[in-house]
Amino acid sequence: MSFTGASMGSVAGTARRAFEFGQTYVVKPKGKHQATIVWLHGLGDNGSSWSSLLETLPLPNIKWICPTAPQRPITLFGGFPSTAWFDVNDLSENAIDDNEGLDASAAYVASLLATEPPHIKLGVGGFSMGAATSLYSATCFVRGKYENGNSYPVNLSAAVGLSGWLPCAKTLTSKLEGVEGAVNRATSLPILLCHGKDIFNLALFQQRSIAELWTPQGWNFAFRRQLNDWEIMRVAEFLNTVDTFNGLHTGEDKLWWSGNNKGVFKVNKAYKMMDQPSNHNLNWPWKQIWKNRIPHKISCFIWLFAKEATLTQDNVMKKGITLCSRCFLSKETYETVNHLFLHCTYTLKLWSHAQESLRGSEELGGSRSTC
């Protein structure tokens, strides 16, 4: 993997503002070079994180170019600067598209692809905001020009979007009307879109409170788009769960623990509940963890590990934080509790070393006892 330094400029006059793009990381093909894909990271990330992951993929004939977005003030963050391909002012469908920022990023991507050999297939892809930028680049290719009217110079062969969205979607249909060759370019361009199964991503109003969504007639949910077949069952399960809600009541909100009738948390009761057989008829080994004479820090760590509650990247992502999950030791797969502490190649070496040390201690102890 190699990288180039930062570049600055308005990118062939496609924007009035000057954007300074960060370092670009390149993953060279291990086999015959057949395609080049510019891969764009998400908001607040950089090209290095994705290049490390893409380098592990079994795709030896693809060259990956992973640029880093410019640092710019983000309106949604109150002007706080972050690496971003364009400005974001709202998370709803009424958000105002930053056409100037989109044009600048799309033109920068095109400039990276324009230097590739003529026989190489060219593609663009990304995650989250990077996916939005890649899809915007695809629309520029189909239209044959950027939003500002400058011509789009690259012949794309593929576009990929992971957990992203299409900027300027409301006006795209009208912009394509009467454009010569747009239909042929659109039908010939393969596009892969992938999204997670979490229905929270479908919610139109993700930041609203219960009081804003609850009415005397029931819940007032709204989704960003029509549901796909595989999402209908998930939504139905969710509605069955929230249907047990008894409505809003006046009074001060307070925590209520379901372990007893008074709603007051009791430590001894919690331990007894955890010690009860689970649905799989397995007893939780809390006595083996807390009753042994070992340092308290070790007990706490074993407890978190057994509960799969250590702060691995997959657990952090479950809390709504967007990351590119991968094991920083082996760089082979996602960072989960079981992988990091059991299956990682580095971890297996440590376990083997520990077993050999214990085996040696047992043999030494046995020889002493026979003397």
Which tens digit of pLDDT belongs to each residue from 286-323? 666 776 777 878 778 777 777 777 888 877 777 777 77
Listed residues 284, 301, 335: the one ending a domain: 284
Mean pLDDT, to the nearest integer, of 332-343? 78
Does residue 261 lie in a domain region?
Answer: yes
Mean pLDDT, to the nearest integer, of 338-345? 81
Q: Bigger pLDDT: 240 or 354?
A: 354
204 and 190 in a single domain? The answer is: no
Instruction: Determine how many CB atoms are found less than 10 A away from the CB of residue 316.
Output: 14
Has residue 182 got a pLDDT over 60? Answer: yes
Does residue 273 lie in a domain region?
Answer: yes
19 and 114 in a single domain? The answer is: yes
pLDDT computed for residue 84 by the predictor? 93
267 and 308 in a single domain? The answer is: no
Has residue 15 got a pLDDT over 50? Answer: no
CB 29 within 8 A of CB 62: yes
pLDDT in tens, 63-102: 999 999 999 999 988 888 889 999 988 877 778 899 999 9
Residue-range definition of the domain harbouring residue 260: 254-284
CATH number of the domain that residue 174 is part of: 3.40.50.1820
Q: What is the DSSP string of 62-79?
A: EEEEE--PPEEEEGGGTT
Most confident of the following: 3-17, 176-190, 233-247: 176-190
pLDDT computed for residue 231 by the predictor? 61
Instruction: Dig out the tokens for 16 from the structure.
Output: 């009035």
Burial class (CB within 10 angstroms; exposed 0-12, middle 13-18, buried 19+) of 199: middle
Q: Strands 191-194 and 158-162: what pairing?
A: parallel
Quickly state the pLDDT bin for 137 (edges 50, 70, 90).
Answer: very high
Mean pLDDT, to the nearest integer, of 215-226? 71
26 and 47 in a single domain? The answer is: yes
200: DSSP letter = G
Does residue 175 lie in a domain region?
Answer: yes
Quickly state the pLDDT bin for 371 (edges 50, 70, 90).
Answer: very low
pLDDT computed for residue 153 by the predictor? 94
Domain count of the fold of the chain: 4
341 and 310 in a single domain? The answer is: yes
Does residue 247 lie in a domain region?
Answer: no
Quickly state the pLDDT bin for 279 (edges 50, 70, 90).
Answer: very low
224 and 294 in a single domain? The answer is: no
8 and 80 in a single domain? The answer is: yes
Does residue 13 lie in a domain region?
Answer: yes
211 and 100 in a single domain? The answer is: no
Question: Residue 306 CA to chain centroid, in angstroms?
Answer: 26
The pair phi, psi for residue 72, each rounded to 5°, is -145, 150
pLDDT computed for residue 285 by the predictor? 63
pLDDT computed for residue 370 by the predictor? 41
CB 234 within 8 A of CB 241: no
32 and 150 in a single domain? The answer is: yes
217 and 325 in a single domain? The answer is: no
Q: pTM, whole model, 2 decimals?
A: 0.54
Does residue 57 lie in a domain region?
Answer: yes
Does residue 248 lie in a domain region?
Answer: no
218 and 308 in a single domain? The answer is: no
223: DSSP letter = B
Q: What is the mean pLDDT of the chain?
A: 79
Quickly state the pLDDT bin for 159 (edges 50, 70, 90).
Answer: very high
Does residue 249 lie in a domain region?
Answer: no
16 and 109 in a single domain? The answer is: yes
